[in-house]
Amino acid sequence: MLSFKRIMAVCLMVLISNAYANLVLAKVDGPAVFWKFSLWGKKRAFTEGAETLSKRLSEETDGKFKLKIFYGGQLSKSKENLDGLKANSFEMAAFCNFYHPGKNAGLMVLTMPFLPMGDFDKDAKIRHAVYDHPIVKEQLARWNAKLYVTSNLPQYEFLGKGKPPLTLSGFKGMRVRAGGGVGKAMEILGAIRQTVPASEVYTLISRGAVDAVSFPFTYAHGAYKIHEVAEWYTANLSPGTSDCPYVINQKSYNKLPKQYKDLLAKLKPEALAAMKVAYKKADDKNLPMFKSKLKEIKYDEKTLAEFRKAAGKPVWDAWVAANKDKFDAQALIDLVFETAK
């Protein structure tokens, strides 16, 4: 028969073991929280950051902090996610700045063509510096939105159908889906800019209503299967990109305990790293497929230099002038170049 001391020792060991197990399972203790994340389209490289965040929040809190991702615009249309945050319809979302430039005018700096961007890590540094600028913070605060992490979209290229633009003059009269500063750059070439949701582009190109689409290369073209209806692609135009950040409902964030706020901050690099890996995997899959199926168009350096001269600084200057009575747009342009050094 076990002695009283031995029984107590066994009980103590069990208690210690259980306590340790709980510490391992729940590294961050706190209340039960359920957040909804509004996204459009399907799961893709762009959404890997959200998927990683959802998984890691659950792991770090033993399932107490749940982040459920709603795809396909179930909670809100892509152009209405900021409205949804303002209405407190959900706790997190992604949105693209050029979908509604009037709502996030300062953030449009990241759509300007031919900025010193193109390297993943440097781009993330630039974008987060812009996110931290008081002008951008104040504008997003109007929509109850707190910028969380960049999706760090790659540089754009075009996929299209019909006569390919073998020279830059070939874009004249072409109906192109291009937003923000990239869209302005294409207008300089004589293209007719179309601003339509990404989910509609496949149908519009297949029907001949749009001739070409600029998307982050290559992941978005592959995700939306544009190669299935396209006939050619540009390989090195790289006119710029856009910005589609993950944002948090500010009121919901304010209600979180400190340990959950700290956890969200801790997981930012993991979300960003997941997207970096996903974009690379998309390129490894898509590039060989594009090369085998579509006509590749490459421009020589002289042609690209002419494009940069015509559609780089002139577009920046026009954007600064258009916003001179609203906010200091030049300060945001300067911030991009200073951060890129």
- Calculate what percentage of the chain has a pLDDT beyond 70: 92
Asked if pLDDT for residue 9 goes beyond 70, the answer is no
What CA–CA distance (Å, rounded) separates 190 from 196? 19
Exposed, middle or buried, 122 (CB in 10 Å: 0-12/13-18/19+)? middle
Residues facing 145 on adjacent strands:
249
| Tokens read off for 225 | 């299967």
More confident residue, 167 or 9: 167
pTM of the model as a whole: 0.84
| Average pLDDT of the residues in 140-163 | 96
Select from 215, 216, 240, 217 the least CA-distant residue to 313: 240
Which tens digit of pLDDT belongs to each residue from 97-106? 988 999 999 9
- Which burial class, exposed, middle or buried, applies to 187 when counting CB atoms under 10 A from its CB (0-12, 13-18, 19+)? middle
| CA dist., res. 285 & res. 183, Å (int) | 28
pLDDT band, residue 13 (cuts 50/70/90): low
Report the share of the chain in percent with pLDDT over 90.
Answer: 84
pLDDT tens digits for range 237-281:
999 999 999 999 999 999 999 999 999 999 999 999 999 999 999
Q: Which amino acid is at 102?
A: G
Q: What is the pLDDT of residues 315-332, one digit of tens each?
A: 999 999 999 999 999 999
- pLDDT at residue number 25: 47
179: pLDDT confidence band, cut at 50, 70 and 90? confident
Mean pLDDT of the 297-301 span: 95
Half-sphere exposure of 295 (CA within 13 A, CB side): 11
| Domains of the chain by start residue, with CATH | 28-152+243-281 (3.40.190.170), 156-241+283-340 (3.40.190.170)
pLDDT at 26: 54
